Amino acid sequence: MAYSEKLIDHYQNPKNVGTLDKSKKTVGTGLVGAPECGDVMRLQIEVDDTTGMITDAKFKTFGCGSAIASSSLATEWLKGKSVDDALKIDNMAIVEELALPPVKIHCSVLAEDAIKAAINDYRKKNGLEEIVFEEKGVH
């Protein structure tokens, strides 16, 4: 399978690999996927609670190159966005940006799920109601 240059670059030079302190109230953590399925993504955001802006984002991913690249790209897009805008990130934008082949679309869905899970974790920690998302069902 031939991958796009952008995808390969994100795989070879992933952005924002790492771990944020999940005990902090300002950090939201999303852990999605399962080892048996061959991909697990952990995506974390740090939110400035006065402005509602995402100041930092980190990921760690167990998975194929597309899963790694999707999560790396997601963290790039998250940084500097407001939480509300972050919710608007659609998996198809990731598919387009990385030119993911059809069999790898689930990697982008996983990244979108990780973003939502991280935001909900942040909301929960800060006494906000969790958002109920519709299933994408492309897994």
4 binds other proteins (CB under 8 A): no
Q: How far is CA 117 from CA 28, 31, 42, 72, 121, in A?
A: 8, 7, 9, 16, 6
Q: Is 46 in the site for other proteins (CB under 8 A)?
A: no
Q: Catalytic site residue 64? A: no
Phi, psi of 21 (to 5 degrees): -75, 105
Binding to other proteins, residues 77-136 (CB under 8 A):
103, 106, 110, 113
Interface segment toward other proteins; rule CB under 8 A; list 32-40, 49-57, 83-91, 120-128: 32-40
Does 39 sit near other proteins (CB under 8 A)? yes
DSSP 8-state class, residue 102: G
What lies within 8 Å, CB to CB, of 6 at 6+ separation is 69, 97, 98, 99
In the complex with other proteins, the residue whose CB is nearer, 49 or 131, is 131
Number of chain residues interacting with other proteins (CB under 8 A): 31
Kindly tell me which of 83 and 114 has the beta carbon lying closer to other proteins: 114
Contact between 68 and other proteins by CB under 8 A: the answer reads yes
As a whole number of angstroms, the distance between CA 100 and CA 82 comes to 26
Active-site residue list = 37, 107
